[in-house]
């Protein structure tokens, strides 16, 4: 059986596994908050959009945090976070409001301030 390695597969392997610039560390809490708020903001500004521009988010996170993440890692975080929220809604276990302040500026920076890191456990 002859398995041919295609150019597409080579590119995917490089961008998802081999690129030495990739950060393989777990997401910081502030990165998690940034992703959540970025996607929420995108959905509000583009209500008819079917897809989220993950590559744009990844590049903005690289500029802001100095860490290059794979598209798979960012999407997996987002989709697992959505699943957890849906499960919590079904279980009707609401925890009190978190002490979070999120501000959007005209230059499209997202600033997040919070008092307690533990509220992210629900994501």
**Does 109 reside within a domain?**
yes
Question: Residues 36, 81: contact at Cβ < 8 Å?
Answer: yes
Q: Does some domain include residue 19?
A: no
Q: Which domain holds residue 46?
A: 26-122
- For residue 11, being part of any structural domain is answered with no
Is 108 within the bounds of a domain?
A: yes
User: Considering the entire predicted model, what is its pTM?
Assistant: 0.68
Instruction: Give the CA count within 13 Å in the CB-facing half-sphere of 87.
Output: 8
In a domain, 15, yes or no: no
Distance CA 99, CA 118 (A): 11
Residue 8 resides in a domain: no
Report the domain count for the chain.
1
Q: How does pLDDT run across 5-50, given as a tens digit for each residue?
A: 999 999 999 999 999 999 999 999 999 999 999 999 999 999 999 9
């Amino acid at each position: 059986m002859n398995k041919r390695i295609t150019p597409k597969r080579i590119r995917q392997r490089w961008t998802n596994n081999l690129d030495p610039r990739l950060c393989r560390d777990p997401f910081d809490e502030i990165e998690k908050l940034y992703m959540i708020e970025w996607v929420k903001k995108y959905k509000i500004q583009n209500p008819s959009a079917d897809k989220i521009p993950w590559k744009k988010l990844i590049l903005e996170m690289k500029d802001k945090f100095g860490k290059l993440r794979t598209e798979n890692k960012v999407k997996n975080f987002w989709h697992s976070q959505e699943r957890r929220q849906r499960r919590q809604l079904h279980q009707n276990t609401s925890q009190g409001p978190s002490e979070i302040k999120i501000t959007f500026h005209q230059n499209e920076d997202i600033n997040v301030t919070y008092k307690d890191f533990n509220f992210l456990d629900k994501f």
